[in-house]
Amino acid sequence: MNRSKFKFLVVKAISFIIIAIFIYTATSKLLDFEQFRIQLGQSPLLSSFADFVSIAIILLEFLLSFTLIFHFTRSIGLLLSYGLLTMFTTYIFIILKYSDYIPCSCGGVIEKLSWEEHLLFNLGVIILCAWGFILSKDPIHFDRYNKA
Amino acid sequence: MKIFSRILSLIVVGFLGILTVVILFFMSEKEMHRNNAFIRRYPHHPLNIRDTINIKYDSYYFAGIENDTIYLGNTTAPLFVLKVSLTNKDTSHVLLNVPDFKNYQYVNPRVQFRNSKYYLYDGSVPVIFSGSFDSKLKNALNQKIYFDRLQIIDSNRFWIRSRLTQSNQLELGLLDIKNQRVTFHKKLLTRQIDGFFDVDGIMSFSNNSLLYIYFYRNNYQIINNQGDFEIGNTIDTLSQSNIKIAYNKKRGRRKLANQPTLVNLKGTTWEKYLFINSDRLGKYEPAEMLREASIIDVYDFKEKSYEFSFYLYDHFDKKAREFRVVKSRLYALYDNYLTIHHLDLPD
């Protein structure tokens, strides 16, 4: 197995892990959407934007999963996933440090994690995204790499 | 070169992500706490600390202040009352004598001490035990009249707050235990949204008036013992509470759907004075004061006028949990300490 092929497999594996996480959390949010929106509304940071943000986050998670399936969108998908997770993690960090109380609305079993575990989990996923993005192929030059 | 530009993109995207959330945080902070429409008056040094007494536990609350003695109830030991003498700062305790205390299931039993009598009550049972210390405390409430707040008018009459099951509204009622009757004065609490969450507030009794201070709007009600009322306004300008209610059909529950702006956090009364701990900054007020102190606004509820404001500073990195005022003294509970302050009030 050559180097390029190995890289390709790593990127693919990372993408599928992230797809699994996004689909899982987005679905569990969607299944109890009312509850998710109420939790966001109670959040000290998002109170006034809860209606918009609750829909946007779920759509974004599905959309990003979609981009991660295909070779030619994977690179940008990984970069944007990295961005979204950075936002989630900053949010958790601020809530932990500066807020009087902490509602969680991440969805599914991830809600059962303690906040410190949650932070570590997110950092892990961020590193995966970043790593995947660095290894992934440039969409514009995709064909060239492919021939090589 | 490819790896360099990739890392650069990661740094830029990461930075933008963090920035967005931080901006969001400051926007909501500002919206919640700042109101430039009013200005507070801060006289120089109206409050000076005099004493700090270690009471060893952080579960005490004020049950009453009478005859130079502070009576503190304890949420974890409902029958235990700590007495702090203000003349020599000595502490002693009494254990209330309630023979059939064990016959009931309690949710939140509370003690109040008024006119040399103890009242131990829990509105979810419901029971009201009363009596002086040397006698046994007896249950005076035989009807199933449930309540969640109680204020004593005299040994036979109480103001209570209950959720009425038919309407799901919070109402204030006058409870007369001599006749075992309660009269709900409907429309005493002014409904703005749902009549339950939006009318929530603090009850305090002084000068033969019940004061009801709303959490989520800028007014309070002064209610006499016949159930007539007047409305007073605080210096804040938020007159309409911005509560949103969500009804979760799947779980069959009503919940707060947003984080509504809290106008009044805590309140207490002494004679004609009303003291309100506000969570909001007025014009020209430094933002760090909300972190370092409790802002207390003083009103004269007879005149319905604003007098002045002062800072009740945090101690031991804790906010004052509760405070009371009697004459020129302010008493506050922090953590496991009771503090005594001198307070300058206008005559």
Average pLDDT over residues A131-139: 81
Distance, in Å, from the CA atom of B266 to the CA atom of B287, rounded to the nearest integer, reads 19
Whose structure tokens read 């952080």? B58
Element (H, E) at B325: strand B322-326
Among chain B residues, the shortest Cα distance to A50 is held by B258
Ordered strands of the B157-164 beta sheet: B149-152, B157-164, B169-176, B181-185
Among chain B residues, the shortest Cα distance to A78 is held by B10
Which residues from B are below 8 Å from A83, CB to CB? 13-14, 16-17
Average pLDDT over residues B308-317: 89
Q: Higher model confidence: residue B330 or residue B281?
A: B330
pLDDT score recorded for residue B171: 92
pLDDT score recorded for residue A140: 52
Average pLDDT over residues B312-335: 92
What pLDDT band is residue A44 in, cutting at 50, 70 and 90? low
pLDDT score recorded for residue B1: 59
Number of C-beta neighbours around residue B215 at 10 A: 21
Residue pLDDT, tens place only, B41-69: 887 788 988 889 999 999 999 999 998 99
Cβ contact B248–A45 (<8 Å): no
Cβ contact B9–A79 (<8 Å): yes
Among chain A residues, the shortest Cα distance to B23 is held by A45
Q: Which residues contact B73 (CB under 8 A, 6 or more apart)?
A: B60, B61, B62, B63, B80, B81, B110, B111, B112
Query: Is the pLDDT assigned to residue A146 strictly greater than 80?
Result: no
Residues B34, B35, B39, B40: what is their CA dihedral angle, to the nearest 10 degrees?
Answer: -50
pLDDT score recorded for residue A98: 65
The model carries a pTM of 0.71
Cβ contact B257–A42 (<8 Å): yes
Cβ contact B18–A87 (<8 Å): yes
Average pLDDT over residues B102-109: 90
Element (H, E) at B158: strand B157-164
Cβ contacts of B220-223, under 8 Å, gap ≥ 24: B220/B264, B220/B267, B220/B274, B220/B276, B220/B301, B221/B188, B221/B189, B221/B190, B222/B301, B222/B304, B223/B159, B223/B172, B223/B185, B223/B188
Among chain B residues, the shortest Cα distance to A43 is held by B259
- Which of B6, B20, B258 shows the shortest C-beta gap to A133? B6
Residues of B near A (Cβ–Cβ under 8 Å) read 2-3, 6-7, 9-10, 13-14, 16-18, 20-22, 24-25, 28-29, 31-32, 244, 246, 248-251, 255-259
What pLDDT band is residue A148 in, cutting at 50, 70 and 90? very low
Cβ contact B17–A84 (<8 Å): yes
User: Quick one: what percent of chain B has pLDDT higher than 90?
Assistant: 52
Average pLDDT over residues A20-24: 93
